[in-house]
Amino acid sequence: MNYVIYSPFPDDSFRDDMLWYAQAKLKRGDGKAKQYWVRYHNPEQKGALLGLGTDIRLYVMGHGDLGDKTQLVSGTDHWDKPPVTLASGLKYSRCMLKAYYRYFYTPDALVDVLHWDGLQKYALEVRLFACIAAKDPDSFAYQFAREMAKNGHYPGTRVYGYAGDLHFDRGRKLTNEYGKQDIFSAKKLMVEVTGGATKNPMTAEEPVADGFDDILSMLAGLKT
């Protein structure tokens, strides 16, 4: 299986977080090392996800707890209005948060950018690494799962979202060293959503943290 972490936004969202984690996790020596591909959407050049095959677990970065719950929001602030018409011809949207702007995707627009970047039709698994993206059936993950299956776009792809908050840099904030704390609250749900229906929920009593341990171990052998 190819493990891939991917930022779908047309700016530098989440790149520093990934690299900071990489510097620490490259030192991991507990036998849980995995090689991960890191990919970024580039509006001037399509195909960021080409060549990765169908046996893939794709982590899509974003914020699910900012603004409308049906939006996946970027991580970079723009003090001036960022452009919504770029070379790719894709549909980019922006929202205003406090005094700055960020990009966001609606579920259908995220499907479009995945297709544009070359995600294969029968890709195995997509996980939305975003807070509360699967909080309820009206949330982003559920709508995104329906869009993935719609019109045969990605008919067999499993979509996962998280019902609670994720903490990508908790360890760095608490101990100034990555990996010392869980990156998310293990009491929150990770659910598989297929066509908008919840399937195989993982409860807090089951090993949610272990089920997501590959995000922690990915940086033991990062590929860019």
- Summarised one tens digit per residue, pLDDT across range 164-181 is 877 655 444 444 444 444
Residues 69/34, Cβ–Cβ less than 8 Å:
no
**pLDDT given at position 198:** 43
pLDDT higher than 90, residue 162: no
**pLDDT given at position 218:** 34
* Helices 140-149/107-116 angle, 10° precision: 50
CA distance 115 to 222: 24
The structural domains of the chain, with segments of one domain joined by +, span 2-63+107-223
pLDDT higher than 90, residue 111: yes
**pLDDT given at position 205:** 28
Q: How confident is the model at residue 92 (pLDDT cuts 50, 70, 90)?
A: confident
**pLDDT given at position 78:** 92
**pLDDT given at position 147:** 93
CA distance 163 to 180: 23
CATH class of domain segment(s) 2-63+107-223: alpha beta
**pLDDT given at position 167:** 65
- In Å, how far are 8, 89, 167 from 109, measured between CA atoms? 10, 12, 25
Averaged confidence pLDDT in the chain: 75
* Cross-strand pairs, 56: 2
Which of 15, 30, 2 is CA-nearest to residue 220?
30
Q: How confident is the model at residue 29 (pLDDT cuts 50, 70, 90)?
A: low
